[in-house]
Amino acid sequence: MGSDRAGPPTFSVDVTTDDAWTTVAVAGELDLATADELSGAVRTGLASGAVRLDLRDVTFMDSAGVRALNTALRESAARGRELRVSDGLQPAVLQLLEMTGMLGLLPMEDGR
């Protein structure tokens, strides 16, 4: 018989580079199963310059995602590279970042 269970949650990381920035666009669920993929993409981007994190299509984030963002901040500071987060976060992600205090630490594109 067929199963009504959905497949695994969707997640993708798309990396693009222009003259000034590497943009790491993340979509889907950022959690324990996917946080290392984000960290690796950010680390690779920071090796060559500034990184913009586009998290607008992240639909869910848990503490592993918050930890990955904290690691990205520390690595960008250690390398002397700029890190920015695009505006337009999903309400659930925004709420988690506010609750954990991470929102105040992340350099947002609007200058917050």
| CATH hierarchy code of domain 11-100 | 3.30.750.24
Q: Fill in the amino acid letter for 99.
A: M
91 burial type by CB count under 10 A (0-12 exposed, 13-18 middle, 19+ buried) = exposed
pTM: 0.88
> For 17-43, what is the mean pLDDT?
96
pLDDT band at 9 (very low <50, low <70, confident <90, very high): low
pLDDT band at 39 (very low <50, low <70, confident <90, very high): very high
Question: Above 80 in pLDDT, residue 35?
Answer: yes
CB atoms within 10 A of CB 111: 7
What local confidence, expressed as pLDDT, does residue 19 receive?
A: 86
pLDDT band at 90 (very low <50, low <70, confident <90, very high): very high
Query: Domain map of the chain by residue range?
Result: 11-100
